[in-house]
Amino acid sequence: MFKSLLGNIEIAFSIVALLVGISGVAIAQNKNLPLNYNLNQKLTILATQQNEILHIGSKPYIETFTPPLLQKWMYTDTGKYYYDLTVLLFQKNLLQIEKEDVRLTVDILLDVNYGKTSQLDAMGGNKIQQNTRGLRVTGDITDKVSFETRIYENQFYYPLYIDSIADAREIALGFGRSKPFKTIGHDVGTSMGTVSVSPSKQLNIMFGHDKLFYGFGYRSLLLSDAATTFPMLKTTWQSKSKKWQYQVVKAWMQSLERLPATHSTEALFKRKGGAFNYLSYKASSRLEIGIFESTIHKNYQDSIGIIPLDYTFYLPLIGGSTMINGFDNANNTLVGLNASYIHKNNLQFYTQIAIDNIDKIGYQLGVKWFNCFGLNRTWFQTEYNSTPMYMYTQNTVNMLQNYTHVNQELAHPLGAGFDEFIIKGHYEKERLFVNLSLNYALRKRDSSTTYGENILLANDIRPNNSPVANLNSLYWNVEGGYTMNIKTNLQLFGAYTKRSLMGEFVSQEEGFWTLGLRTNLSNKYYDL
């Protein structure tokens, strides 16, 4: 049956190749590279070493604007394997088809892990588990069109501190709205996919469901990939010199608050529009500066219902919405600045500033040391992030335009009102790797509530004259493993994690271990 399925796929794409009808045309790739933190660090240092211009402040990287040398390094395994099974496990996609000017790949995606936690759940158990099965299909048609689709089916038994957040918000973190699974688990199906068209070497147009990340650090105070995917139209232009890059994104987002009852089985969710503009200048392979603007546009009003998006949603000019609407408006505007410099000694200094209003400014400072002590594919990083209370939020009337999507933060996953210090390390030798993480945060709330930190809430409802409550959170993780297939980043791994949150009104402490097998193409943010 499986062979029959592969045969049918091959026949189908042979027909596509005939329909395209441009034999002999070179196949260029225009898809997104995986939005995985460790893979992005490797590309960053390799681009710098090779003196290649790669705009690293906006992710995921697009193959159209990524030097071929970097792509070849990322996807090529030069090891020698002598059996069909080992070639498949370590070197190839599950299915690879090339027919003149059409290329197709098919891969199975997995994230299957099991572990135990130190705390008992509501049923008296302490199991944690993830069971993710998925499929990825990618294709390139001539040198102009590429596509990718991923489909996932997931079940989660979370550590208790994650489970409490997921239950309260009715989500699986990073995946979107979930439903109960066997009393205490979470079940969620999700998909992502894009079609990418490059009419020229300087222009790429991409539409579909995906995530975005702007910044040079581990966190982003502007827009991160912590939330689930959203539909978008992304246009990226790069100058002939490659020094200038401009990206315009129109996105359609939603809350988990339903519209008033309709005749349908389930009413739709209240929606909002997201407009993101990013201009970056790459003076050299080592110095990059970027300017960011985002606006979450009103698309629903209680007294009227669905309303048209403001005309400024369609403006492709960075700064246009801010100049016309300002900050104190129903449409929630955020602007920011990125800067990065990589010293010849493989030291990267970076910073980020996010301005939500004159009195709500967040900032980031960080340093990375690549190829530590002369060891290739190794780095050490320290990062500091700070935001004031009630950043990213709107008042009660305009609360839908808070900087969120499907009950998840669009920027930093802690929300707002924190000072955070992060240490990360990565060591890799051949296929073996070790990751180390340490996160400490001083989190600020209004008294015993979560006002000020929880950006799902309005910023004009707060306890009267209440003192600010300070909480201390500490998270550390040690992870090691073995990378099998470079095409899908297939890894065997094991990890131990300890997390605590302590304050006047809160006392939580939990430790847990996990073992598993994963195709590691995206990021998880459980360090909360």
With 80 as the cut, is the pLDDT of residue 4 above it?
Answer: no
3-class SS at 391?
Answer: coil
Q: Which of 86-100, 123-137, 198-212, 411-425 has the lowest mean pLDDT?
A: 86-100
* CA dist., res. 240 & res. 395, Å (int): 44
Position 2 scores a pLDDT of 38
Q: Which amino acid is at 384?
A: Y
Q: DSSP assignment, residue 202?
A: T
Query: Span 475-499, mean pLDDT?
Result: 96
Q: Which residue has the higher pLDDT, 350 or 27?
A: 350
Q: DSSP assignment, residue 61?
A: P
CATH topology of domain 2-519: Porin (2.40.160)
pLDDT tens by residue, 237-263: 999 999 999 999 999 999 998 888 665
Q: DSSP assignment, residue 259?
A: P
Query: Span 36-61, mean pLDDT?
Result: 93
Query: Span 276-297, mean pLDDT?
Result: 97
Position 468 scores a pLDDT of 87
Query: Span 193-219, mean pLDDT?
Result: 96
* CA dist., res. 211 & res. 274, Å (int): 13
Position 80 scores a pLDDT of 77
The CA-based angle 60-227-328, given to 5 degrees, is: 100
8 Å CB contact between 422 and 219? yes
3-class SS at 145?
Answer: strand
In 314-466, where do the E strands start and end? 332-342, 347-357, 360-370, 379-387, 404-405, 408-409, 418-429, 432-446
HEC readout, 83-113: CHHHHHHHCCCCEEEEECCEEEEEEEEEEEE
Per-residue pLDDT band for 26 (boundaries 50, 70, 90) equals low
Q: Which of 260-264, 318-322, 326-330, 519-523 has the lowest mean pLDDT?
A: 260-264
With 90 as the cut, is the pLDDT of residue 133 above it?
Answer: yes
Instruction: Provide the residue ranges of all domains of the chain, joining segments of one domain with +.
Output: 2-519
Position 376 scores a pLDDT of 87
* CA dist., res. 297 & res. 402, Å (int): 10
Q: Which of 159-168, 216-225, 446-455, 510-519 has the lowest mean pLDDT?
A: 446-455
8 Å CB contact between 101 and 24? yes
8 Å CB contact between 338 and 352? yes
With 50 as the cut, is the pLDDT of residue 151 above it?
Answer: yes
The answer to whether the Cα torsion of 84, 86, 90, 94 is positive or negative is positive
Position 21 scores a pLDDT of 43
Question: Rounded to two decimals, what is the model's pTM?
Answer: 0.92
Give strand pairing partners of 429: 432
pLDDT tens by residue, 97-125: 988 889 999 999 999 999 999 988 887 88
* CA dist., res. 349 & res. 339, Å (int): 8
In 266-346, where do the E strands start and end? 269-282, 287-298, 300-301, 305-306, 332-342
Give strand pairing partners of 301: 305
Per-residue pLDDT band for 22 (boundaries 50, 70, 90) equals very low
User: Which residues lie closer than 8 Å to 285 by C-beta, 6 or more apart?
Assistant: 47, 48, 50, 51, 52, 53, 54, 342
With 90 as the cut, is the pLDDT of residue 403 above it?
Answer: yes
Upper half-sphere CA count for residue 126 (Cβ side, 13 Å)? 10
Query: Span 502-514, mean pLDDT?
Result: 93
Query: Span 356-378, mean pLDDT?
Result: 94
Q: Which amino acid is at 405?
A: H
Position 514 scores a pLDDT of 97
Q: Which token pair is 31? A: 């898809």
Per-residue pLDDT band for 472 (boundaries 50, 70, 90) equals very high
Place of tokens 């089985």: 265
Position 212 scores a pLDDT of 97
- In the chain, the percentage of residues whose pLDDT exceeds 90 is 74
Q: Which residue has the higher pLDDT, 184 or 79?
A: 184
H-type alpha helices, 288-331: 320-325
Mutual angle of helices 68-75 and 37-49, in 10-degree steps: 130
Q: Where on the phi/psi map is residue 359: left (φ > 0), alpha (ψ -120 to 50), or beta?
A: alpha
